[in-house]
Chain A
Amino acid sequence: MSEEILETPTEIGPLPSFPGKQLAAAREEKGLSVADVARSLRLSVRQIEAIEADDFDKLPSKTFLRGFIRNYAKLLQLDPEPLLLVSQLAVTQPQPQAISVPLGQLEFSVSRSQRTFSGTRTSPWLKYLPAALLVIGVLGWATFELLHGNDSTTVVVKPAGDSAAMVLPLPPIQPPAQSEQQPAVPTESGSAESVVVPAIKDAGASTAVPATTPETTAAQAGGARIKLSFSGESWIELKDKSGRTIYKQIGQAGNEQIITGTSPLALTVGKAANVKVIFNDKPIDLVPYTSGDVARLTLN
């Protein structure tokens, strides 16, 4: 509609002035009166005067104002775009207009039978009830885990296959600092290779490994060690050489995990930006492997 760009040498000066003056000047140049313009734009004389006086408060909201200025400029065969740009600066629109009417605050008393029939308005307490129950549940569970933390870190020994991974599950919410409270399990050095343990910041404590894995030998050919640190929620899946899933979990912010298995390891990370991967003490940049949010890579 606005393609009609005509030569208007007098219009676009170096300093932007408000559109009203430019429009009024162009109108006078064409020998038109305010009434003429009002008639052809189907606006009232009052509205045209308000546009020319840049008195935007007397005019309807932004969309209409832009439309009026565009129509006016088209009538005078001016390029509307610079005028619209200036008017945009002039009109202060503190926030986008609401698109729905806020729900009424006062309850309209309706008999119970009718209310269940319409069923549109539920009490705000009912709406938040599931969320509240969930929060209470999670908190209770976390407290329970903290109090009985020592018992819960059970060691699950899987039958030693070719890669023989062991999983030592920890509640994902538990912050890393808490792991220092774990009792030092009798160690047997050398069996650390194929065990999944929660990462412990303290270097000395990281050798603390359950002694229940005599059959898993350290000298595995393709033994690999991955350390994952989470800065936000992320979904991880790790498959070992034989295609078996050895780790699949949603990690929480602040957690760290060390996983070992037989390489090559196929790693899939959802929300890759939230995860740092260190493979055999070498940090891996996930960016080249990321498509969308998900990173897929094979570590060898």
Chain B
Amino acid sequence: MFGFLRGYFSTDLAIDLGTANTLIYVRGKGIVLDEPSVVAIRQEGGPASKKTIQAVGKEAKDMIGRTPGSITAIRPMKDGVIADFTITEQMLKYFIKKIHESRLLTPAPRIIICVPCGSTQVERRAIRESAIGAGARQVYLIEEPMAAAIGADLPVAEATGSMVVDIGGGTTEVGVISLGGVVYASSVRVGGDKFDEAIINYIRRNYGMLIGDATAENIKKEIGSAFPGSEVREMEVKGRNLAEGIPRSFTISSNEILEALTEPLNSIVSAVKSALEQTPPELGADIAEKGMVLTGGGALLRDIDRLLMEETGLPVIVADDPLTCVVRGSGRALEEMDKLGTVFTND
């Protein structure tokens, strides 16, 4: 009944609902929210008791791996898609409410959400439904490679091929774009999370030490690299020794991390290579001239551009501010939403 009024008092949003981080862009304002996609749930008194949300975002992320029995810190997104529908809906609701401050009417914004290009109809529907459940009036979906390319300011509408590789937390999206549409897109479920996992496994295998997700992420950010460089960096890491069961510290070098990351990096390289194989020759020529653009948090891994350059023999560049490329691109689509309809996916 008050739909139009609620719409009048709501602002349109573009959301990058990522595995690792959720970013929200508000029309006319820019990026207003950048928080980890983590929810901490408190459940006291048996499995049948009522669940309440303890914390969302940064606060909840600090709780991962440090919770007592009554609290569980959940990452509701996995591999770029929704793993826990209810929690995702609650998280979205919390974020939408957070940016709308206190209002007389519950907000009913129009929302653009990015989806991995490899996601299935069911997964897309889940994302759409959870946004509607969180109060959205209308939901538009945009494929991540398209959003990343717009965010990186590539000439997407021109008759020239642009290749974008978006390495996110859960997925790596490879897309070739020309004339405002996706010519080729593929998605592999390898991303920052897989890097962390590989580091944890490597350390358990070779050092007999157990480390947590947060420590693994720290190692990756500090000394992780994708290509052997001239300098070798070292870092002191603390974990639990499996044999003794006692916390110990040890030193690990960037070369070892490079070895640990080989497997997930190879999956990314082969995804890029197969995209190049599938690209029509004219667009391939454009890409050879200009190169491919890396976006997403994975682009911040040291020398990943160097690795792709060596493997493909093409120029590789890292976009400005790669972490926010996707949400900036969706935001751009939001600003021009009324003028265009072609960049959104139909299902």
Contact = CB atoms under 8 A, between A and B. Distances in A.
A64 B291 contact: yes
A43 B291 CA distance: 9
A101 B343 CA distance: 10
Interface string A254-269: 0000000000000010
A93 to B, nearest CB: 9
Contacts of B342: 100-101
A278 interface: no
Contact of A67 (B5, B155, B318): B318
Contact of B289 (A41, A60, A66): A60
Nearest to A98: B157
Contacts, number: 98
Given A99-B150, A99-B343, A294 B336 contact: no
Interface string B138-174: 0000000000001011111110000000000000000
A96 B300 CA distance: 25
Interface string A49-63: 000000000001111
A256 to B, nearest CB: 22
B156 A97 contact: yes
Nearest to A42: B315
Contact of B100 (A1, A70, A98, A292): A292
A29 B101 CA distance: 57
Contact of A70 (B5, B9, B318): B318
Contact of B336 (A64, A99, A292): A99
Interface string A283-300: 000000001111000000
Given A99-B332, A100-B342, A101-B179, A68 B315 contact: yes
Contact of A97 (B153, B179, B333, B339): B153
A260 to B, nearest CB: 23
Interface residues of A, number: 28
A54 B289 CA distance: 18
Q: Is the interface of B mostly helix, strand, loop or mixed?
A: loop
Interface in B303-332: 303, 305, 309, 313-320, 332
A1 B300 CA distance: 6
B147 to A, nearest CB: 10
Contact of B315 (A41, A96, A98, A292): A41
Given A70-B317, A99-B336, A100-B343, A63 B104 contact: no
Contacts of A98: 157
Given A63-B152, A292-B101, A42 B309 contact: yes
Contact of B153 (A63, A70, A291): A63
A99 B156 contact: yes
A19 interface: no
Contacts of B336: 99-100
Contacts of B38: none
B153 A62 contact: yes
Given A68-B317, A292-B100, A99 B340 contact: yes
B290 interface: yes
The residue among A41, A66, A97 with the most chain B CB atoms within 10 A of its own CB is A97
Interface in B247-298: 289-291, 293
A97 B102 CA distance: 37
B82 interface: no
A60 B342 CA distance: 25
A291 B314 CA distance: 52
Contact of B317 (A64, A237, A270, A294): A64
B103 interface: yes
B315 A99 contact: no
Interface string B1-37: 0000100110000000000000000000000000000
B144 to A, nearest CB: 15
B93 interface: no
A106 to B, nearest CB: 17
A70 B316 CA distance: 11
A64 B290 contact: yes
A270 B313 CA distance: 58
Interface string A128-155: 0000000000000000000000000000
B293 A67 contact: yes
A241 to B, nearest CB: 20
B180 interface: yes
A187 B102 CA distance: 45
Contact of A294 (B104, B150, B291, B313): B104
13 contacts: A1-B299, A43-B315, A60-B290, A66-B317, A67-B315, A70-B317, A71-B305, A97-B156, A97-B157, A99-B157, A99-B336, A292-B100, A292-B102
Given A67-B317, A235-B5, A237-B104, 16 more contacts: A1-B300, A1-B318, A41-B309, A43-B315, A63-B293, A63-B320, A64-B293, A67-B318, A71-B317, A97-B153, A97-B155, A98-B157, A99-B336, A99-B340, A235-B8, A294-B103
